[in-house]
Amino acid sequence: MKNITRHTGKLESLKRLEGSVNGNPRYQFVVDGYVIRTAVDSSHGYSVPNFEGKQVAVTIGSHYGFTTLGSIHAA
pLDDT digits (tens, 9 = 90+) for 9-21: 999 999 999 988 9
Q: With 90 as the cut, is the pLDDT of residue 1 above it? A: no
**pTM for this entry:** 0.90
Assign residue 53 a region: left if phi > 0, alpha if psi is -120 to 50, beta otherwise? left
Mean pLDDT for the stretch of residues 20-30: 93
* Angstrom distance (rounded) from CA 57 to CA 32: 10
Supply the range of the domain harboring residue 69. 2-74
Q: What's the CA angle centered on 28, arms 6 and 66, to 5 degrees?
A: 65
Number of domains in the chain: 1
CATH of the domain at 43: 2.40.50.140
